[in-house]
Amino acid sequence: MYRVKLTEFEGPLDLLLFFIRRDELDITNIPISRITQEFLEYLHLMASLDLEVAGEFIVMAATLMQIKVRMLLPRDENAPEEEDPRAELIRRLIEYKRFKEMAQEFGSLEEEHRKVYYRRFFEGDTKTLVEEEDDGFLKDISLFNLIAAYKSALDQMPRKVVHEVHLLSVTVDEQMSFVMDFLRVHGPTTLLQLVAHMVEKIRIIVTVIAVLELTKNKAIALAVVDGRDDIAIRPLTSLAPMALASR
Amino acid sequence: MTPDLPPPPVSRQILDVLEALLFATDEPLSTGQLTELLEYLSEQDRPRPLNADTILSCIAYMNREYEVQGRTFRIKPIAGGYQFATLPEFGIWLGRLVRERSKRKLSVSALESLAVIAYKQPVTKPEIEAIRGVNADYVLRTLMERNLVTIVGRASTPGRPLLYGTTREFLKHFGLNDLADLPKPREIDELMAEAEYEVEKRMLRELEEKREAEEGKDEASGLHLVDGDE
Amino acid sequence: MTPDLPPPPVSRQILDVLEALLFATDEPLSTGQLTELLEYLSEQDRPRPLNADTILSCIAYMNREYEVQGRTFRIKPIAGGYQFATLPEFGIWLGRLVRERSKRKLSVSALESLAVIAYKQPVTKPEIEAIRGVNADYVLRTLMERNLVTIVGRASTPGRPLLYGTTREFLKHFGLNDLADLPKPREIDELMAEAEYEVEKRMLRELEEKREAEEGKDEASGLHLVDGDE
């Protein structure tokens, strides 16, 4: 009997290729019973070591046995040019072997390139920033990054979102008037100043909508405040004289 | 053509190793660290004496070389160590590079919001915030500025909140023909779940390593058939 | 002291800006990007013509300079662009210094899957699995996490499976300029022919062994397996 030493195989095809290489078999003319026998012994061994045999190996075992049976069956004289039952498996083995070779090539490319290093520390470089319009914001962000982010967002979603629905009597129209009044009293302001005293989230939201609505109506204009997460608001329509005086 | 330099304080090989080290490091290297790294040089190749002063004179020598050869970079003392840096007069050119670099990445939070909008659209800001648990004002603004997200209408719910959705630009970036091409939640789960087969493979590998350690013997690859009972 | 170089193809100023840009970039810069950046040079300072060929001849010229001057780095074509990188012979020194995630070796299953994806792209998961004969969920996820592979769309076949392809990071990992630089896989016919040839080799060897056994003599050729009994 043979003692079999186990190592990792990339899958059933890899194991078959191993048998073929080790025994110097002709891949185009596989001795199917012998290979099937060895394959089953390997599975048996895995089982005896209490290793769960991966599904792919079991499927392959079934395929091998099926081919073996078909090889034993007498050929149907009427069926013209029936394909060798092994043909499909041989095709797969050769195809896999081909990519396995390329994987080795990739491995040596990787090895070669591992010796090459790029500059990675740029803090010492003096840079003078230049204003330009921007593009390339999404460079290097792939669809995978996007879906990974989606999953992460869902995973981190607050377990219970308590929506206390108490009806607040706040409408967009009201807040539009509020914004215009505020501007009239305080002059140009910012969004944060506008909502500073508000406690209910919904009121803030409605106010923001009101601001957007007013922007759309060209009653006010918005601008980004440099360096801050805030938006500057200034009136576009003429306001009551007292507003001008107040600033 | 180039003015002659005095002879280097150490062998060329040492200068080369120093240059390569300073080039590839991801943080400034102190003279102490450099000394330590040079200790891997074989006994006879090592500079003598091998100390901070030797390193400093090498750095000074290399900088003279770069100057004479008209290179646009020098080795500069930074944060207690030494590092390559381009000369300040090229700062304006590098600024253009850096701007591009800083714009490159979407923040994690922007990406998450973008993902939520992509999958849940049309979606209101409160809905985005409910999923992400944080205020979405800033990211929404950023995403809209980048033309990845746009307002697509208003919900008919009370307060008629704005509805957000993704743009054509978004589809273009991710190589999607339409929104139906986005990976489905089921596909995402498939991608994110560890295949069970891998668990087994890892077990097998561990077992193998343990056995090899026990037997204390080396082995090439594959199934080894050993003539057992004789 | 240093051998003379031919005159530079453009003014020193242009070479300097190019060098500084390439020295300071953390991403390969394409000739297109470099051309664009050089367009900021004032009209009379700009190289003429300002195109990819001009850039390429400048890069070649600079690399000759570095070689003559004994520098340990060169401007290297990578992932469709150019970037400074150390010469491979200094890798051993830098390995002691740098412990980068990206320098981590890929597993065999990752390499195999990458090979399939690289040559067959755009390719679906079932296609990858059919070739390798194993589930590809885990490995695909790992490859995507390392940004070597990405989703590039959906097939138009029933079920519209996701399509996968390699990334720029993939090129960078293997030091390739573009996909055309990939080693060519052997043709099926060649593999078949080789398989048959292997059988002949084996027969030849058996014959050889038999003869040697008969002659009872030792042999040197590595083909022979020592079998122990004397």
Q: Which residues, in sequence order, are CB contacts of B203 under 8 Å at separation 6+? A: A51, A52
Query: Which one of A137, A167, A194 would you mutate to disrupt binding with B, by most B Cβ within 10 Å of its Cβ?
Result: A137
B60-74: pLDDT as tens digits: 999 999 999 999 999
Q: Identify the pLDDT of residue B90.
A: 92
Nearest to C151 among A94, A122, A143 (CB): A143
Residues 180-219 of A with CB under 8 A from C: none
Residue extents of the structural domains in chain C = 12-86, 92-181, 184-230
What's the mean pLDDT when you consider all of chain C?
84
- pLDDT at residue C4 is higher than 50: yes
B118 at interface of A, judged by CB pairs closer than 8 A: yes
Query: Looking at residues A161-187, what average pLDDT do you find?
Result: 75
Give pLDDT, residue A89.
94
pLDDT of C207 reads: 72
Reading the block at residue A94, the tokens are 């050769």
The pLDDT of residue B200 is above 80: no
Q: Which of C24, C86, C144 sits opposite B20 (nearest CB)?
A: C86
Secondary structure class of A143 (helix, strand, coil): helix
pLDDT score, position A26: 86
Identical topology for domains C12-86 and C92-181: yes
SS3 C99: coil
- What pLDDT, on a 0 to 100 scale, did the predictor assign at position C164? 94
Neighbours of chain B (3+ CB pairs under 8 A): A, C
- By C-alpha distance, the chain B residue nearest A224 is B141
Give percent of chain B above pLDDT 90. Answer: 38
User: Is the Cβ of C41 closer than 8 Å to some Cβ of chain B?
Assistant: no
Chain A partners within 8 Å of B117 (Cβ): none
> What amino acid occupies position B129?
E
**Share above pLDDT 70 across residues of chain C, in percent, rounded to a whole number:** 83
Q: Which residues is B164 bridged to in the sheet?
A: B123, B151
Query: Taking CB atoms and an 8 Å limit, are A103 and C167 in contact across chains?
Result: no
Q: Closest Cα partner for A121 from C220, B82, B139, C5?
A: B82
Contact B84/A at CB under 8 A: yes
pLDDT of residue A64: 94
> Which residues of chain B make contact with C226, given a CB cutoff of 8 A?
none
Where in chain C does DSSP place strands (E)?
73-78, 81-86, 123-124, 149-154, 162-166
C150: nearest CB among A11, A92, A143: A143
Q: What is the DSSP secondary-structure string of A67-107?
A: HHHHHHSPPPSSSTTPPPTTHHHHHHHHHHHHHHHHHHHHH
Topology of the domain comprising B12-86 = Arc Repressor Mutant, subunit A (1.10.10)
Mean pLDDT estimate for chain B = 81
Which pLDDT score, from 0 to 100, does residue B214 have? 61
Confidence of residue C102 (pLDDT cuts 50, 70, 90): low
pLDDT at res. C220: 44
- In this predicted model, what pLDDT tens digit does every residue of B81-107 receive, in sequence order? 999 999 999 998 888 877 665 555 677
Contact call for B70 and C153, based on CB within 8 A: no
Confidence of residue A201 (pLDDT cuts 50, 70, 90): confident
Higher pLDDT, A110 or B176: A110
Question: Any chain B CB within 8 A of the CB of A223?
Answer: no
Q: Letter for the amino acid at B37? A: L
Band of pLDDT at residue C226, cut at 50, 70 and 90? very low
Name the CA dihedral angle for A48, A52, A55, A60, rounded to a multiple of 10 degrees: -20
- Whether the CB of B94 is below 8 Å from some CB of chain A: the reply is yes
When pLDDT is averaged across residues C10-27 and rounded to a whole number, the result is: 92
C151 and A143 Cβ atoms separated by less than 8 Å: yes
B residues 170-209 lying closer than 8 A (beta carbon) to C: 175-177, 181, 183, 187, 190-195, 197-198
Q: What is the pTM of this model?
A: 0.69
CATH architecture of C92-181: Orthogonal Bundle (1.10)
Gap between the Cα atoms of B169 and B148, Å rounded? 6
Q: What percent of chain C has pLDDT over 90?
A: 51
CA distance B160 to C104: 52
Given this model, what pLDDT does residue C77 score?
95
Of A229-233, B31-35, C13-17, give the lowest mean pLDDT range: A229-233
Q: In chain A, pLDDT over 90 holds for what percent of residues?
A: 22
**Average pLDDT score over chain A:** 78
pLDDT of residue A140: 60
Contact flag B222-A126 (C-beta cutoff 8 Å)? no
Residue C224 confidence (pLDDT) above 50: no
Q: Does B84 touch chain C (CB under 8 A)?
A: yes
* Chain B CB contacts of C41 below 8 Å: none
- The pLDDT, as a whole number, for residue B3 is 57
| Residue closest to A144 by CA, chosen among B107, B169, C149, B168 | C149
- pLDDT tens digits, one per residue of B132-148: 888 888 889 888 888 89
Residues 94-123 of C with CB under 8 A from B: 94, 96-98
Mean pLDDT along residues C133-141? 90
pLDDT for B229 equals 41
Distance from CA of B3 to the nearest CA of C (A): 9
Query: Which tens digit of pLDDT belongs to each residue from A79-132?
Result: 666 778 899 999 999 999 999 999 999 999 999 998 899 998 888 888 887 655
Percent of chain B predicted with pLDDT > 70: 78
Task: Measure in Å the smallest separation between the Cα of C161 and chain B Cα atoms.
Answer: 9
pLDDT for B220 equals 40
Torsion angle of the four alpha carbons C34, C35, C39, C45, in this order, in degrees rounded to the nearest 10 = 90
The overall longest dimension of chain C from CA atoms, in Å, is 86
For residue B192, the chain A residues in CB contact (below 8 A) are 148, 151
pLDDT band per the 50, 70, 90 thresholds, residue C126: very high
User: Percent of chain A beyond pLDDT 70?
Assistant: 76
For residue A152, the number of C-alpha atoms closer than 13 Å in the C-beta half-sphere is: 14
Disruptive mutation site among B59, B97, B102, B112 for chain A (greatest number of A CBs within 10 Å): B112
> In angstroms, what separates the C-alpha of A54 from chain B's closest C-alpha?
6
Q: Does residue B19 carry a pLDDT above 70?
A: yes
Band of the pLDDT at A219, cuts 50, 70, 90?
confident
Single out the residue of C190, C224, C192, C208 nearest to residue A26, CA to CA. C192
Tell me how far the alpha carbon of residue B43 is from its chain's centroid: 36
pLDDT in tens, C26-67: 889 999 999 988 988 887 788 888 899 999 999 999 999 999
What does the pLDDT read at residue C223?
A: 40
Phi, psi torsion values for A162, nearest 5 degrees: -85, 110
User: Of the given ranges (B178-192, C112-126, C166-180), which has the lowest mean pLDDT?
Assistant: B178-192
Locate tokens 């923001």: which residue?
A: A208
